Amino acid sequence: MKVQIKAIAQESELAKAIDHKINNKTKPLGSLGALECVAKKIALIQNSLSPTFQNPTLLIFAGDHGAAIQKSGISPFPSEVTYQMVLNFLRGGAAINVFSEQNQLGLKVIDAGVNFDFSPMALEKENPCFINAKIAKGTKNYLHEDAMSAQELEKALTHGAIIVDTQGDSNVIGFGEMGIGNSSSASLIFSTLADLSLEECVGAGAGHTSEGITKKIEILKQVKSRYTSPAALSSPEKVMCAFGGFEIAMMAGAMLRTAEVGKTILVDGFITSAAILWASKISPHVLDYAIFTHQSNERAHALMLEHLKAKPLLNLNLRLGEGSGVAVSYPIVLASINFLNKMASFSEAQVSKKV
């Protein structure tokens, strides 16, 4: 997938004008903290002193993993939970439905590679929130072979880009995921791309005990041990093919396209952060367009955020996925551009500035 993402100039004349506008609001200098940083970032992304959000959208990418389908021990939950939760999303019964409805986020659920046929009967009725972009019914079992082929990866990346292009005039897109076993894929991707041990990169996922985490690490070490040649994992594409999920790959493709067309990316937790980490190896400037909404309670997420030099907005000990951190934090993101656009300046309010 070829992308051309424009770098955002942090020292431009526009950046200076944004700083001037923020610093002349009726408040002590820097007193709105992270909100000021977020406001500036969004203004730079939109190339405007008065940025606005249009039709905020949350995309949830769902996919199954061969190692989970074949009950290899990477998750305490059966892979059937993936399709069951997708149906729950489409029926409006999940946490993300509650939070996205509360904060008026348009929700779309994408079948990137779920091991299930979402027939009209299964969906109960045609659902405008559902997007069928299935690559296959789950990846292959990476204990024995690559999770996906190069052709499947390219298809997933392309589908992700197309999905972004079909979101109309939405200029802010949040990302979430669903997939039993995908924290293991994210850990493998993070460990490889950041050159870290699996002990540093593996956590509880959907609910492992300490014994389960130990077993999970041992299984993932077996997976990595299959790749002994220096060339085996020598590119981001090879890493995704070896360990990835269709939902992670498609999400990465969508993130790259979102940045390429100059829209704001809202990143959720550990798995979505792994997707943008991978995307940043394709085009580093994708990070210029990303707001990291929270630090999850997955053990390695803090380390991943540090690796990405990202400062999350919240830390609520969430560990749910689904884009829940995006939806919960959205009012804070919105507050940042509202103060920039609506708060009076010292001169407008006839308030004396600090001497």
* Mean pLDDT computed over 310-317: 97
pLDDT exceeds cutoff 90 at 94? yes
- The whole-number average pLDDT for the span 83-95 is 96
Predicted local distance difference test score (pLDDT) of residue 113: 98
Q: What confidence score (pLDDT) does residue 294 get? A: 98
Residue at token pair 């981001």: 236
Q: Which residues have CB under 8 Å from 310's CB, separation 6+?
A: 267, 273, 287, 290, 292
Give the pLDDT mean for 282-310. 96
What is the Cβ-side half-sphere exposure of residue 127, based on CA atoms within 13 angstroms? Answer: 24
Transcribe 170-186 into DSSP letters.
--EEEEEEE-TTHHHHH
- Give the separation between CA 198 and CA 60, rounded to whole angstroms: 26
What is the pLDDT confidence band of residue 124, given thresholds at 50, 70 and 90?
confident
DSSP state of 140: -
**Cα angle: 113, vertex 115, 121; to 5 degrees:** 105
The model's confidence at residue 353, banded by pLDDT at 50, 70 and 90, is confident
- Among the listed residues 144, 58, 142, 48, the one whose alpha carbon sits nearest the alpha carbon of residue 97: 58
Q: What is the pLDDT of residues 223-238, one digit of tens each?
A: 999 998 889 999 999 9
Q: What span, in angstroms and rounded, lies between the C-alpha atoms of 287 and 309?
A: 10
The pLDDT value given to residue 329: 98
pLDDT value for 330:
98
* Active-site entry in 80, 218, 322, 348: 322
293/265 Cα distance (integer angstroms): 10
Question: Which residues, including other chains, have CB under 8 Å from residue 216's CB and lie 6 or more apart?
Answer: 73, 74, 184, 202, 205, 208
**Structure confidence at residue 271 as a pLDDT band (50, 70, 90):** very high
> Alpha helix locations (H) across the chain?
13-23, 34-46, 66-69, 80-91, 95-102, 120-123, 150-165, 182-194, 198-201, 210-225, 236-243, 246-260, 270-282, 301-307, 324-342, 346-349
Q: From the CB of residue 54, how many other CB atoms can be counted at a distance below 10 Å? A: 11
So what's the pLDDT on residue 206? 66
Higher per-residue pLDDT: 267 or 354: 267
- The rounded mean pLDDT for the chain is 94
Mean pLDDT of 109-134: 89
The terminus-to-terminus CA distance of the chain in angstroms comes to 54
Using the predicted structure, report yes or no on whether residue 287 has a pLDDT greater than 80: yes
Residue-wise pLDDT for 23-81, tens only, equals: 999 999 999 999 999 999 999 999 999 999 999 999 999 999 999 999 888 888 899 99
Give the span between the Cα atoms of 171 and 325, in whole angstroms.
19
Per-residue confidence (pLDDT) for residue 207, from 0 to 100: 63
Residue 152 annotated as catalytic = no
Domains and CATH numbers, the chain: 13-51+340-349 (1.10.1610.10), 57-332 (3.40.50.10210)
pLDDT tens digits along 175-216: 999 999 999 999 999 999 999 999 999 976 666 677 778 889
Q: Residue for token digits 């946490």? A: 95
Neighbours of 97 (CB within 10 A): 18
- Which amino acid is present at 111? D
> Can you give the pLDDT at residue 355?
67
Cα of 244 vs its chain's centroid, Å: 14
DSSP β-bridge partners for residue 314:
294
